[in-house]
């Protein structure tokens, strides 16, 4: 298996270019991030070129973080801000060579939120398509993100399949899906055709994958059997310095996590 370091959590105490270099030194195959916008894209691109690592993806801005916002795309009446965030994310992705943008829905519910989300996704996909960029949507569990618009893979599946846009895909995070739904191996197999990226962390603590209740050795084998050959995103919270939490990486490559 190949693995990507999510630098929103791993080496988060370092400037993003240095975190990229740390991921390369640790043996990751790729990197991804959350909100890189305060870092000059040229510096990020230089670190990527130095290490030879691709940047898989990044998130749209959350909105007013001080007010507790966590995305804009499903907020009725905020379309102009949501589309500005989409434009910004696509531009940054192009500047660093990232292949995907996760459009964050935000805290909302109801038919108006659903309509706003779909229209903003339609806009995002249209803007991203000429550049070969995939638009991702990710269900977040209701315990970590209470009130978030998108919470289940069934809801995400309905949006992706109803809209029928070739560059709209599901980001399947084993952590969030286990917390909300369980049945991970069957669920990922059933959804594999619409999945654009996969992330993981232990449950319930969102730590490294060699801890907790989920058997990732088994799940990684399931993914291999499904023909998944793209890097899997390690999006976990290190409870110690990141370099001290990486014993799982060699074990996973050897199939003995």
Give the list of residues 6+ apart from residue 38 with CB closer than 8 angstroms, or none. none
CB neighbours of 69 closer than 8 A, spacing ≥ 6?
62, 63, 106, 107
Query: Please, what is the angle between helix 216-225 and helix 184-191, to 10°?
Result: 30
SS (H, E, C) 113-171: HHHHHHHHHHHHHHHHHHHCCEEEECCCCCCCCCCECCCCHHHHHHHHHHHCCCCEEEE
Catalytic-labelled residue, pool 79, 88, 235, 244: 235
Contact by Cβ (8 Å): 86, 127: yes
Q: Which of 88, 138, 211, 244 is an active site residue?
A: 138
Which helix (H) or strand (E) covers residue 46, if one does? helix 41-51
In contact, 1 and 27? CB cutoff 8 Å:
no
d(CA 121, CA 90): 13
Name the residue among 192, 252, 177, 194 with its Cα closest to residue 225.
192
Based on the residue annotation, tell me whether 235 is a catalytic residue of this protein. yes
Residue among 165, 136, 143, 120 at smallest CA distance from 230: 136
Active-site annotation holds for 32: no
Residues 6+ positions from 111 with CB-CB distance below 8 Å: none
Active site residues: 138, 235
């Amino acid at each position: 298996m190949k693995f990507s370091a999510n630098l929103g959590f791993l080496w988060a105490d370092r400037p993003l270019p240095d975190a990229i270099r740390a991921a390369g030194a640790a043996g990751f195959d790729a990197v991804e991030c959350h909100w890189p916008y305060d870092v000059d894209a040229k510096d990020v691109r230089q670190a990527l070129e130095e290490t030879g690592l691709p940047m898989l993806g990044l998130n749209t801005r959350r909105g007013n973080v001080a007010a507790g916002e966590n995305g804009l795309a499903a907020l009725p009446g905020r379309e102009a801000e949501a589309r500005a965030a989409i434009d910004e994310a696509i531009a940054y992705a192009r500047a660093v060579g990232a292949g995907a943008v996760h459009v964050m829905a935000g805290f909302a519910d109801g038919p108006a939120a659903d309509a706003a989300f779909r229209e903003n996704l339609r806009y995002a996909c249209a803007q991203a398509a000429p550049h070969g960029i995939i638009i991702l949507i990710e269900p977040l569990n209701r315990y970590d993100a209470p009130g978030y618009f998108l919470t289940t893979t069934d809801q995400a599946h309905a949006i992706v399949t109803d809209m029928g846009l070739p560059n709209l895909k599901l980001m399947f995070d084993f952590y969030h899906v286990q917390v909300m739904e369980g049945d991970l191996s069957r669920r990922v197999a059933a959804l594999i055709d619409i999945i654009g990226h996969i992330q993981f962390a232990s449950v319930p603590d969102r730590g490294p994958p060699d801890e907790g209740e989920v058997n990732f050795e088994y799940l990684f084998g399931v993914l291999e059997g499904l023909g998944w050959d793209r890097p899997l995103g390690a999006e976990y919270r290190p409870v110690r310095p990141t370099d001290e939490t990486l014993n799982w990486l060699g074990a996973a490559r050897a199939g003995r996590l």
